Structure 1
Amino acid sequence: MNLDDIDRSILAHLRRDGRAPVSDIARQVGLSPAPVSRRIERMESAGVIRGYVAVIDDPQSGSLEAFTEVRLSGSTETGELGDILREVPEVQEFFTIAGDPDALVRIRVDDVDHLQRVVNAMRRTGKLTGTKTLIVMHTWNRAHGTGGT
C-alpha cells in the first residue's frame, strides 16, 4: 500500500494516542473527519494498522518484562520457533534477527520465578541450544514519551 504524507501524519497521531477522536486527528492533518475516517479504515483493511493497544505502566501493574536471546539448534527452522513461542502466553512478541543470536523474545511475567519457569519451558522443547535473558529495569517509548522505572 502506498502511503502519502497525510497517511503518515495520521499514523503518527494514532501512535501517540490510538483512542484519539477522528475529529482531533482531522483538525491536525487539515482534513475533515470523513476522509480521515476513510483513510484509517483503508489502512486497517490493508493491514498497515493491525490493531490498537493500551500502554500499561508495568511497574504499577506489578509485572516484569524481559528479553531473551535465543539460539536455535542446527536443525530448527525459524518457523518452528514461531510455532513454539505462539503457544507460550507470556511471550509478547519475538523477532528473528540476523547474526548471533537467532531471535529475540519479549516476555511479560509476574516475577523472576515465573520468568525462570517460562525460560525453562522454552529450553525443554529441544529446539534451542542456548538462551540469555535480560530483565528490563526501565522503559521509555518515543511515541508516548513515557515509561516506568
Structure 2
Amino acid sequence: MRLDDLDERIVRALAEDARRSYADIGAEVGLSAPAVKRRVDRLRDSGAITGFTVQVDPAALGWSTEAFVEIYCRGRTSPEDIHDALVRFPEVASASTVTGEADAVVQVFASDVRHFERVLEKIAGESFVERTKSVLVLSPLLRRYSAGSPT
C-alpha cells in the first residue's frame, strides 16, 4: 500500500507521539477525528502501521553502553541463520545485513563494557561467525524515530 500525503502526515504525527488523540491529529492535518480514526484503522488493516509502542532510553534501564558490531560469516550463511542466532540476545537492539566486507551489522546495548565483552564473546562464538569488529559509541549525535518521507 502506498501512503498518500494525508496518510504520511498522520503516520508522522503518530510516530512523534502515538498517544496523541485523533482530534489533535485531525486538527493538524485538516480532518475530523472520525476520519483520522478510519484512516488509522485502514493503515493498521493494510499492515502499513504494524503497531504502537513506547520508546525507552536504554540508559534508564541500566544499559548505558552502546556498540556496533560487524559480523563476518563463514561460507554461505543465510540472513535467517544470522537472525535466528541474534534474536536470542536481549542486548541486540537491531541487526541488518549490509553491503561491503561485513555480512551484518549489529547494534548492542549493555550495562557496561564488561557486559558488552561477554555479549561480544557469545556472538563471536556462534558457529557461523568467522570474526567480528566492534566500535563503542561515545556520544549519540542524532537519532530519528519518526516515520514518513524526509521533508
Aligned-pair identity in percent equals 34
Could you tell me which residue of structure 2 aligns to residue 127 of structure 1?
A: 128
Could you tell me which residue of structure 1 aligns to residue 149 of structure 2?
A: none
Write out aligned runs for 1:1-149 (5 A).
1-63=1-63, 64-139=65-140, 140-143=142-145
From the superposition, tell whether residues 130 and 55 of structure 1 become closer, same or farther in structure 2 (CA, over 3 Å). same
Tell me whether 1-10 or 59-68 shows the greater mean CA deviation: 59-68
Residue deviations 1:70-122 (CA, integer Å, cap 9, x gap):
11111322211011011111111211112221111111211111111111111
Tell me whether 126-135 or 43-52 shows the greater mean CA deviation: 43-52
Alignment coverage as a number of residue pairs: 144
- Structure 1 consecutive aligned stretches of length 4 or more whose deviation exceeds 6 Å: none
Query: What value does the CA root-mean-square deviation take over the aligned residues?
Result: 1.7
State the 1:2 CA deviation: 2.0
Which structure 2 segments of 5+ residues have no match?
147-151
Amino acid at match of 1:42: R
In the superposition, the TM-score normalised over structure 1's length comes to: 0.86
Q: CA contact under 8 A between 2:58 and 2:109: conserved in structure 1?
A: no
Tell me whether 13-22 or 28-37 shows the greater mean CA deviation: 13-22
Q: CA contact under 8 A between 2:66 and 2:109: conserved in structure 1?
A: yes
Residue deviations 1:2-55 (CA, integer Å, cap 9, x gap):
210000011111121122122111110000011111211222222222223323
